[in-house]
């Protein structure tokens, strides 16, 4: 089974948690896209749900699949968010934002009663940090923001190269919120909650890809089948 089939399997398992009438957060990325497509099939068969997309890409996918959408201004909570991740550790700390949607993903996850992470099992790691940590920043004053990020890294016992993310066309990648992303190659993050707190305190940092205390379970698909970790 190839990676894409594994991702679809994880999405299909998470779909089993969806009930009629649920208000859902819809994640972003290739794994979350499988979930949206499978959800669309259930909707076509009569399931009644409403979703909040975490990116413009997911909004378009959900519309194409016939999933009814709303916003967090129109409803006051979500029952369940299903989203992918770039890394998941045994405490359910996550690195997210490989697809650049971390800000909306975190807002949606934080508004949800539960968050299920769906992934192929290569994303399950003992320690976060091999995947570059995305930090969403305001372009204004970026030099000062980068220096403050370096200080936060040093205080939290990590260091590494930082680079402003580029889009495929070579231009700076701009998020749905109009911000930039700095990707930091840290290798190993010894204390993810401490680093999350330090980054959140920096003016100029809009959000970062460390998701702490948000995920409630993980569905991991691998060669030996599906693992649900709670």
User: Should residue 53 be labelled a site residue for ligand 5RP when binding is judged by CB under 6 A?
Assistant: no
Residues 73-112 that bind ligand 5RP (CB under 6 A): 83-86, 96-102, 105
User: Should residue 221 be labelled a site residue for ligand 5RP when binding is judged by CB under 6 A?
Assistant: no
φ, ψ of residue 5 to 5 degrees: the values are -65, -35
Looking at 28, 57, 145, 175, which residue binds ligand 5RP (CB under 6 A)?
28
User: Should residue 31 be labelled a site residue for ligand 5RP when binding is judged by CB under 6 A?
Assistant: yes
Is 41 annotated in the active site?
no
| Closest distance of CB 27 from ligand 5RP, Å | 5
Please state the three-class secondary structure of the chain as a single string: CCHHHHHHHHHHHHHCCCCCCCEEEECCCHHHHHHHHHHHHHHHCCCCCEEEECCHHHHHHHHHCCCCECCCCCCCCEEEEEECCCEECCCCCEECCCCCCHHHHHHHHHCEEEEEEEEEHHHECCCCCCCCEEEEECCCCHHHHHHHHHHHHHHCCCCCCEEECECCCCCECCCCCCCEEEEECCCCCCCHHHHHHHHHCCCCEEEECEECCCCCEEEEEECCEEEEEC
**55 or 145, CB closer to ligand 5RP?**
55
| Closest distance of CB 154 from ligand 5RP, Å | 26
User: Should residue 27 be labelled a site residue for ligand 5RP when binding is judged by CB under 6 A?
Assistant: yes
| Closest distance of CB 89 from ligand 5RP, Å | 15
**107 or 150, CB closer to ligand 5RP?**
107
| Closest distance of CB 104 from ligand 5RP, Å | 9
Catalytic residue among 105, 136, 155, 230: 105
Catalytic residues: 105
Would you tell me which residues interact with ligand 5RP (CB under 6 A)?
Answer: 27-32, 83-86, 96-102, 105
């Amino acid at each position: 089974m190839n990676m894409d089939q594994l991702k679809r399997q994880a999405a299909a398992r998470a779909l089993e948690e969806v009930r009629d009438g649920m208000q859902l957060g819809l994640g972003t990325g290739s794994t979350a896209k499988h979930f949206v497509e499978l959800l669309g099939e259930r909707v076509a068969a009569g399931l009644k749900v409403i979703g909040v997309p975490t990116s413009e890409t997911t909004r378009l996918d959900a519309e194409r699949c016939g999933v009814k959408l709303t916003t967090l201004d129109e409803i006051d909570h979500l029952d369940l968010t299903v989203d992918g991740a770039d890394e998941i550790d045994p405490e359910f700390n996550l690195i997210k934002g490989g697809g650049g949607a971390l800000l909306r993903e975190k807002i949606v996850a934080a508004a949800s009663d539960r968050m299920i992470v769906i992934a192929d099992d290569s994303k399950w790691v003992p320690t976060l940090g091999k995947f570059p940590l995305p930090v969403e920043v305001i372009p204004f004053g970026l030099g000062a923001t980068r220096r403050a990020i370096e200080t936060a890294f040093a205080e939290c016992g990590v260091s590494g190269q930082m680079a402003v993310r580029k889009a495929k066309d070579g231009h700076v990648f701009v998020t749905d919120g109009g911000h930039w992303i700095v990707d930091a190659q840290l290798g190993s993050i010894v204390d993810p909650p401490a680093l999350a707190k330090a980054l959140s305190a920096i003016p100029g940092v809009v959000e970062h890809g460390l998701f702490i205390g948000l995920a409630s379970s993980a569905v991991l698909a691998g060669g030996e089948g599906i693992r649900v970790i709670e």
